[in-house]
Amino acid sequence: MTKLEIAVLNNLQYSSLTATATKKERQDVLDKITSEIMAVLTTTEIVSHVQEIYNETIDEYATNSLHQNIVDELIDFMSYVPHDNALVIDVGCGTGRDALFMSVSDQEFRKSLMGRTKNGQTTLEKFLVPTKAIRVVGIDSSLGMLGVAQKWQSSLIQSGHLKLGEYPRFLYHDATKSLESLGKVDGIWSCAALFTHTPKECLVETINSIAKTVKQGGVFYTTYTNGRSEEKYDKLLLSSTGRIKYFSHPDPSDIAEIARQCGLVLAQEQYSNMESADGKIIKKDLFVSQLYRKK
């Protein structure tokens, strides 16, 4: 049990809930006490909490159908990467889906990950299968996630889908540490990771590290939950496993301003809705994607 979870269980409002309280009732209380809980935690404790939760709920994450297919924005990012054999970092690579998609040139493998439906069409129906091969370093602070990524990579090597020279590197990287030790790269990609679990106090340092790591003319592409839509930065969510997950919801204009000060120019910004399986809008403009260029 993490310090965050202990703080929640010791909170009078939460501990007074009866054993018969529904998940919604527990979530309602979590929403009310979030700011109180966050006030007693250090950024290190928040980051450690995220690491532990992902390590211990890896099976649920890996088998969740929402995580099986790439997002449309990855196709867009790949088109902005300057050339074949470019080097990029996948920050918060998780199970390796995006890193492997970018690395593996096999068209059938790429097609198999383009089944996400948005606005009534799959990614494969909307886009041509990319032909560009990219060298990728996938980093994550969850050893459990990295283990799944490496196992997937091994299976692709054995099946012949992944050729020598295409192998991505999967590395453990503390989320609070600078990226500069990884060397200069042509691009950085982060899908629902970097600004999805980043304490507010870490934003400036994190974005500055990205700016220093991307080469001049390189790109940084990120997707995350729109904090302007959510109206508050921190979110504690009671997951289906019973564990409490931490999410951050930055205001896109705040991210853009910090990035500008660090030498990253916002070149593209798009918003998308949360939709039900049948395409109905659950929440408008809940997600945001931003493309930055290094001056």
Position 261 in a domain:
yes
Position 243 in a domain:
yes
CATH code for the domain in which residue 114 is found = 3.40.50.150
Position 35 in a domain:
no
Position 202 in a domain:
yes
Give the count of domains, the chain. Answer: 1
Q: Which tens digit of pLDDT belongs to each residue from 66-125?
A: 889 999 999 999 999 988 889 999 999 999 999 999 999 899 999 999 999 888 899 999
- Domain of residue 248 covers 42-294
| Three-state secondary structure string covering the chain | CCHHHHHHHCCHHHHCCCCCCCHHHHHHHHHHHHHHHHCCCCHHHHHHHHHHHHHHCHHHHHHCHHHCCCCHHHHHHHHHCCCCCCEEEEECCCCCHHHHHHHCCCHHHHHHCCCCEECCEEHHHHCCCCCCCCEEEEEECCHHHHHHHHHHHHHHHHHCCCCCCCCCEEEECCCCCCCHHHCCEEEEEEECCCCCCCCHHHHHHHHHHHHHHEEEEEEEEEEEECHHHHCCCEEEEECCCCCEEEEECCCHHHHHHHHHHCCEEEEEEEEEEEECCCCCEEEEEEEEEEEEEEC
**What pLDDT score was predicted for residue 194?**
92
pLDDT in tens, the chain (295 residues): 999 999 999 999 999 999 999 999 999 999 999 999 999 999 999 999 999 999 999 988 888 888 899 999 999 999 999 888 899 999 999 999 999 999 998 999 999 999 998 888 999 999 999 999 899 999 999 999 999 999 999 999 999 988 888 899 999 998 778 898 899 999 999 999 999 999 999 999 999 999 999 999 999 999 999 999 777 999 999 998 889 999 999 999 999 999 999 999 999 999 998 887 677 888 899 999 999 999 8
Position 70 in a domain:
yes
Position 15 in a domain:
no
Position 23 in a domain:
no
Whole-prediction pTM: 0.94
Position 21 in a domain:
no
